[in-house]
Amino acid sequence: MFKLEKDFTYSMPAHFGGVKFDPDAKLTQKATTLLISYETQGKLLENYIPGVFELLAPEVHVIFSSFREINWMLGGHYNLIDVSVPVRFNGKKDQMDGKYSLVVWENNTTPILGGREQTGIPKIYADIQDLHILKPHYATTASLNGNTFLNMNFEATGELTMDEFEQVKAQSLNSDVIGWRYIPKVGAPGAELSQFILYPQGMEVKKAHVGNGRLKWTELAPMQNPSQFHIINSLATLPIKGITGAMLSEGMVNLRAFGARIIE
């Protein structure tokens, strides 16, 4: 009969086997990322941030990433839209600054399952276009069932200075991403598991361009997106007071999934 092995980590269905736990495992992938951040109304944004956090700035960071040559997917690829906010975690044992993930859309099931179960990142599915490139213009969209809910546009205006580039490289090497792993009870209201997870990761930036960014959320009716419309519409109702940053970068992302830990 099937038995769980002590030093292995498993995902459902566990009875087909797992992988040996290796805290030093390197999960790498080539990345092209487009970041557009904007100022919004802090009081409205706080409606989506648990009380254990302190909002450091009334900003929303939206990142499109195209990942290629992924070693843990044996050369596979996927696209991602990450929406996060800068926060300070004020727990009973842990205090830290980081990025709290509001929602992450991906167009591949493999990273969705691992990210949700193992590290508490709120990943869900969407159709995410590869970057449409006609230099210096870049654009992408996210949709589901043919209904577009996000447009991102970027016009590159120049490269960073050497000092600016070195600063971006240093800041990108380590990024403390915090997710909320919430597992509902079976057949009853409430949570079976509710934990905040620190998921360390970083990017070795090779190239970076600054420019002008534009972003548009489109509200959807329940019939257009029954499982996600409330998420999309919540983000769409946050006013965009002004774009605070726009950058296109290329490099190598390092995920330290087995280094993730519960914070309290």
Domain spans in the chain, listed from the N-terminal domain onward? 27-263
Report the pLDDT value the prediction gives residue 21, as an integer from 0 to 100. 87
pLDDT digits (tens, 9 = 90+) for 143-164: 999 999 999 999 999 888 899 9
Other Cβ atoms within 10 Å of 171 Cβ, number: 12
Report the pLDDT value the prediction gives residue 179, as an integer from 0 to 100. 98
Report the pLDDT value the prediction gives residue 159, as an integer from 0 to 100. 83
Report the pLDDT value the prediction gives residue 128, as an integer from 0 to 100. 98
Report the pLDDT value the prediction gives residue 258, as an integer from 0 to 100. 84
Tokens (6 digits) for 196: 């905040």
* pTM for the full predicted model: 0.96
Report the pLDDT value the prediction gives residue 257, as an integer from 0 to 100. 85
Per-residue pLDDT tens, the chain, 264 aa: give them.
999 999 998 999 999 999 888 888 889 999 999 999 999 999 999 999 999 999 999 999 999 999 999 999 999 999 999 999 999 999 999 999 999 999 999 999 999 998 998 899 999 999 999 999 999 999 999 999 999 999 999 999 988 889 999 999 999 999 999 999 999 999 999 999 999 999 999 999 999 999 999 999 999 999 999 999 999 999 999 999 999 999 999 999 999 888 899 999
Other Cβ atoms within 10 Å of 112 Cβ, number: 19
Report the pLDDT value the prediction gives residue 209, as an integer from 0 to 100. 95
Pairing of strands 123-125, 95-106: parallel
Report the pLDDT value the prediction gives residue 259, as an integer from 0 to 100. 87
The CATH label, of 3.40.50.300, 3.90.550.10, 3.40.50.10860, 2.40.400.10, for the domain at 27-263 is 2.40.400.10
Report the pLDDT value the prediction gives residue 246, as an integer from 0 to 100. 97
Pairing of strands 27-39, 19-20: unpaired
